[in-house]
Structure 1
Amino acid sequence: MRNIKNLDISAYLVIGPENTKGRPVVSIIKDAVEAGFTCIQIRSKVASARELIQLTRQAADVIEETGKSQEVTLLVNDRLDVVLAARSQGIKVDGIHVGQTDIPVNVCREYLGGDLIIGLSARVDQLFDYIKTEDVSQLDYFGVGPLHETSTKPDCGIGEDGKVITRSIDDIAKVAELSSIPVVVGGGVKLADIPTLAQTGAHGFFVVSAVTEADNPKQEATNLVNTWNNYKSKLI
């Protein structure tokens, strides 16, 4: 099992220009980081490679401005080319998140080397067998969900029969117990879900619209982080 220093996926924001109601992506990232979010993933199915590189640069710059470059992890979804191009331009991007239909993990590891982070969306079908049998030697964490159906990513959790499979709290707790690497849970997660999620053994939660579409993103991000930390602390 890999051991990446400073990887904290307790409060994880996924964001792209299609998620912000027309507001600047970087301003919402700044709000989230100042509120205590520990991981930012740049994800967009509409932005070009150059736009994604620019978004990654802006994200890295604003994380640095907050003084949290060593604490906050910056990842890019799916696009190994964007990660490599950004790093070649001196942008501090820390790794990639991929799914089963994206570029293979071993290829990512070959190009990114041993120091960068690779996260993988765990398979929805046959989840428990998958968690137990997947080779995690090249991985740093699993993303698991959806907790609820979500309009942000309508295909999230679709099984082989085309139906969306959501995950119960008991499912999440079992996955966290079985997995030998950290687990972050998302998919329609809202503030009301956090107290229960914090007790599952998962290492963190990920959100999109709960923060990116909030009327006051910083306040909502603060509420999520504080609630997670409060309920986690009660378990210690």
Structure 2
Amino acid sequence: MSNIRQNLDISAYLVIGPENTNNRDVGEIVKVAVEKGFTCVQVRSKVASAREMIALCRDCAKAIAELGKSDSVALLVDDRLDVVLAAREEGIKVDGIHVGQSDIPVHVCRKFLGEDSIVGLSAPTTSLIEYVQSADVSDIDYFGAGPLHETATKPDCGLDENGVVITRSFDELTKLASISPIPVVVGGGVKTRDLPALKKTGVDGFFVVSAVASADDPKKASEELVSTWLAS
């Protein structure tokens, strides 16, 4: 197992794509976020082509490397196993993948990416606690859970069979943290003010998109989020 997989830190997790940055450079925002303490970065885009995604991976990997954090800050790609493999073929350091319940199965990701890679999985919304209690976690390193609040960056996140958004209470997350056999990161409209209560649940970290990527001052926003989490 690679050092970065073994020492995976999902405490401050940034999800970012070109549609989130208000036309600003993705790599630059990643650089300031990591500089201010973000510990994991996921490249996610529903509009970028495969080649654009590979270029984004290159920019993000470069930003992390320039800070000397390639061995401690994981770079992941959402959903696109093809992009991870192609980026690696071009010599770009991508550490793994994050997939949802309807994406490529985790055992396939593990087969193609190998034991040194990180594989994260979004836990299902409707049967969250039951799933986490019974899931086979042999191929995955962490669960993503949420949403904590309704969020514009992923409006279809957490819908029940009637199309109503299911959000997560802190009590639910406390139970989730207590029963999960692997680390849990929580997101969905997370703001700085949520972090003290979120930290008390025992989950391993928070993930954000717009709170950093769309912020007027991404560096200041990153610093506030990370320092609040650490102080909570």
Please tell me the residue identity of whatever aligns with 2:189.
Answer: G
Q: In structure 2, what is the Cα distance between the partners aligned to 1:51 and 1:168?
A: 37
Unaligned runs of 5+ in 2: none
The alpha-carbon deviation at position 211 of structure 1 amounts to 0.5
Moved over 3 A (4+): none
2:199 alignment partner in structure 1: 198
2:190 alignment partner in structure 1: 189
Matched, 1:73 2:93: no
Matched, 1:108 2:113: no
Please tell me the residue identity of whatever aligns with 1:179.
Answer: S
Report the 3-state secondary structure (helix = DSSP H, G, I; strand = E; otherwise coil) of the residue aligned with 1:198.
helix
2:176 alignment partner in structure 1: 175
| Contact 1:6/1:70, CA 8 A, preserved across alignment | no
1:6 alignment partner in structure 2: 7
Percent pairwise identity: 65
What aligned pairs does 1:57-136 form with structure 2 within 5 A after superposition?
Answer: 57-136=58-137
Report the 3-state secondary structure (helix = DSSP H, G, I; strand = E; otherwise coil) of the residue aligned with 1:54.
helix
The alpha-carbon deviation at position 158 of structure 1 amounts to 1.1
Give CA-to-partner distance per residue, 1:57-92, whole Å, 9 cap, x none.
Answer: 110011000111111000000000000001111110
Give CA-to-partner distance per residue, 1:5-24, whole Å, 9 cap, x none.
Answer: 22000000000000001111
| Contact 1:75/1:97, CA 8 A, preserved across alignment | yes
Q: How many residues align?
A: 230
Report the 3-state secondary structure (helix = DSSP H, G, I; strand = E; otherwise coil) of the residue aligned with 2:115.
coil
Q: In structure 2, what is the Cα distance between the partners aligned to 1:175 and 1:127?
A: 8
Q: In structure 1, what is the Cα distance between the partners aligned to 2:103 and 2:143?
A: 15
1:50 alignment partner in structure 2: 51
What aligned pairs does 1:14-53 form with structure 2 within 5 A after superposition?
Answer: 14-53=15-54
What aligned pairs does 1:222-233 form with structure 2 within 5 A after superposition?
Answer: 222-231=223-232
Give CA-to-partner distance per residue, 1:177-198, whole Å, 9 cap, x none.
Answer: 1100000000000010011111
1:234 alignment partner in structure 2: none
The alpha-carbon deviation at position 160 of structure 1 amounts to 2.5
Q: In structure 2, what is the Cα distance between the partners aligned to 1:185 and 1:158?
A: 16
TM-score by length of 1: 0.96
| Contact 1:12/1:37, CA 8 A, preserved across alignment | yes
Give CA-to-partner distance per residue, 1:92-124, whole Å, 9 cap, x none.
Answer: 000000000101111111101111000000000
Report the 3-state secondary structure (helix = DSSP H, G, I; strand = E; otherwise coil) of the residue aligned with 1:74.
strand
1:137 alignment partner in structure 2: 138
Please tell me the residue identity of whatever aligns with 1:116.
Answer: S
Q: In structure 2, what is the Cα distance between the partners aligned to 1:130 and 1:65?
A: 39
The alpha-carbon deviation at position 163 of structure 1 amounts to 1.4
TM-score by length of 2: 0.97
| Contact 1:183/1:204, CA 8 A, preserved across alignment | yes
Report the 3-state secondary structure (helix = DSSP H, G, I; strand = E; otherwise coil) of the residue aligned with 1:120.
strand
Q: In structure 1, what is the Cα distance between the partners aligned to 2:52 and 2:134?
A: 37
| Contact 1:173/1:202, CA 8 A, preserved across alignment | yes
| Contact 1:146/1:156, CA 8 A, preserved across alignment | yes
Report the 3-state secondary structure (helix = DSSP H, G, I; strand = E; otherwise coil) of the residue aligned with 1:14.
strand
Unaligned runs of 5+ in 1: 232-236
